[in-house]
Amino acid sequence: MPKLVPAIAVVAIAVAAGFLAGRWWPAEPPALQTSTALFGQERALPEFALTDHTGAAYTRRHLTDGWTLLFFGYTHCPDICPITLATMSASVNAIAALGGEAPRVVFVSVDPERDAPRSLRAYVTTFRDDFLGVTGPHEELRKLTRALGVAYARGGDDPEYLVEHSAALLLVNPKGELQAVFGPPHAPDAIARDFVAIRRHLES
């Protein structure tokens, strides 16, 4: 029986304890890397109203009818965000190499003050043309982050401020529910194998 692992690894901010409480396994789960947490009881996401990098509305409905991989960050991030987005691009290629259909990748900016749709588009498409960037008011962002157990915080009032945020990748299933979390360190081949295993396990 694979051991259970913590749900979310964070950078500088601890996610609330007990995130995995009350989870159950409907069947024997697949063998996954130790930094991946698969939830046997999915977490439904709330309604929210954000804007994507084309200026169109982005809501919970856009997280249905397909698998989605979410990552929260910001375009001025000096290290974690560009490294993770590059890793996600390599993961998409690795999933395709395994013969699987890759999930949509959505980069959610938690820095709406600086990340307007145009700058988000320029940023995410640097890594891959089909990556989508979304953002919105903090009150709408927090509806989503709180439901996912993701924390973020602005670091001071300096114009070049940093934003502390989670480094985890969150997998949302086609029903718009949180299904799994890929914690760091992130390796494209491992993410690809785990995603394919999770999808086969749940769709079998």
| Bridge partners, residue 71, by sequence | 107
Say yes or no to pLDDT of 19 above 80.
no
Q: What is the pLDDT of residue 65?
A: 86
User: Phi and psi at residue 143, in whole multiples of 5°?
Assistant: -60, -40
First to last CA, the chain: 19
Pairwise pLDDT comparison (43 vs 194), residue with the higher score: 194
Q: In whole angstroms, what is the distance from residue 37 CA to residue 5 CA?
A: 6
Nearest alpha carbon to residue 167 among 45, 79, 62? 79
Burial (Cβ within 10 Å: 0-12, 13-18, ≥19) of residue 170: buried
What pLDDT does 63 receive? 95
Cα 61 to Cα 54, 67, 91, 183: the distances in Å are 17, 12, 25, 25
pLDDT value for 29? 63
Least confident piece of the model among 14-23, 53-62, 124-133: 14-23
pLDDT for residue 26 is more than 90: no
Assess whether pLDDT exceeds 80 at residue 77: yes
Question: Of the candidates 88, 67, 192, which has an alpha carbon nearest to the alpha carbon of residue 131?
Answer: 88
Buried-exposed string 81-120: b where 16+ CB fall within 10 A, e elsewhere: beebbebbbbbbebbeeeebebbbbbbbbbbbeebebebb
108-132: average pLDDT: 97
pLDDT confidence bin for 158, thresholds 50/70/90: confident
